[in-house]
Structure formats: structure tokens, C-alpha cells
Structure 1
């Protein structure tokens, strides 16, 4: 184990990981899937940072993966017309406004639980603004 608790790879495991990564990269290059990304890099767009190419690619990949996991979990595709017929559902989210006097971002996304109740969260700065019930209400 390393200091941070992550297991060390053996030289064979490391070589296998590198082989798999190189194979994936070669397949993506050969398919043309990376042509647009390479064009952006060649045009001088940054790889990292707020507007970096890698951040955008990672965001898109994570969102696609999470959407696929959710579809697998609930058993139907997003936007399916027969979604109401399933026991499990995509409950969505809504924008929640912080109460007056609470500093920080004025909106926070709240998800709905399977019981039909929203998942309460303490807004940033709520305690400092005199909110005592954990939802941002004063009193």
C-alpha cells in the first residue's frame, strides 16, 4: 500500500494497464473520433483550465456514463413514453433559491427522493444568517 491507501500496481499490472490504454488510444485515433479534439489542440486551445479541451471531454464522458448508469438502474431510457409504468423513476431536480439574507450562490440544485420529498440541504451561510432548521428557514 502507498501512503494514501491506494494499492501499488505490480510491474505486470502497470504494463497491462499501459497496453490497454495504448490500444484504446490507437482505436480512437484510427476511427477519427479524436479528429475534432486534435483540431482544437492544433489551433492552440488549452488542454487544461476552465476552458480546457480535456475538461470538456471529461465532462461529456462522465455525463454520458452517468446517464447510462441511471438508465440501467431505472430500467428505461430518458424520455421514454412508458416511464410511468416502471416502479423506479427519474425524479428530476429543480432550482432552489436561498432565502433572503443568505450569502453565496443564489441557486442550488435539489434532487427529489424516491419518496417524493426533496433532499434537504443546508444552504451555504445559512447558520451565519440565523437559520436554525437546516433548510434555510429562520426561527
Structure 2
């Protein structure tokens, strides 16, 4: 049986051997980050959270992405999140505490992270108002 840790180890091997760097451009993925409990609480993780950004911000064919990543990483542990459609809290969490697996251009991860910080700060007032109403 394939475990969550096996899936993460497989992803890291794909980074090391260059397979992930070859697959991502074919899928239109410019940035790929693993994040979540698999990094922060590996003993309790139930899945491998992957966050991705597409080339030029174009919409991705999510079914193709899911199928391709599941072909690369056997098992049923991958959970994909499109950073372009994620809310500011999720986007920042993925980029702030994530592990970079692929970036199509140098500094793309840093640029995406800074943009996520800005979006989070710009929308903080809405989250504050929502909490006040509770």
C-alpha cells in the first residue's frame, strides 16, 4: 500500500531526476509547491497538497492535471489547488509554508509569494468585518 510519505518521496525523486521539470511545462504549470500537513505534521497527514500556478495565468485543464500527476505519483494521495483561483488565505498559506518543487522562471515563487502577501493584507479588512458580525 502506498502511503502519503511514499507519495511525497516520489515527488521529490521526480524533482531530483528532472521528470517533474519536463512534465510541468507540458501541462502549462509554471509553479508547483507542496504544502500543508504533509510538511507540518507528516505523521498525521492524509494527503499531499499541491498548489500550482499556470503559465501566464491561463486556466488549466484540471482533469488533465489531476490525471497526469496521478500517473506520475501512484496512489490516491494528491490534492491539487490552483493558486490563481485560491482565496487569499489559502494562497498565502501554501506559498508561505510550502516547499518549491518547480518554477518555470527564476524568482517566480518569490513573486507569487509577495503577491499573495499583498492580496492577504488587502483583504484583511473583509475578514475582520466578517468576524465582527459573528
**TM norm structure 2:** 0.26
Greater fraction helix:
2
Who wins on radius of gyration, i.e. which is larger?
1
**TM norm structure 1:** 0.25
Greater fraction strand:
2
Q: Which protein, 1 or 2, shows the higher relative CO under an 8 Å CA cutoff with sep ≥ 6? A: 2
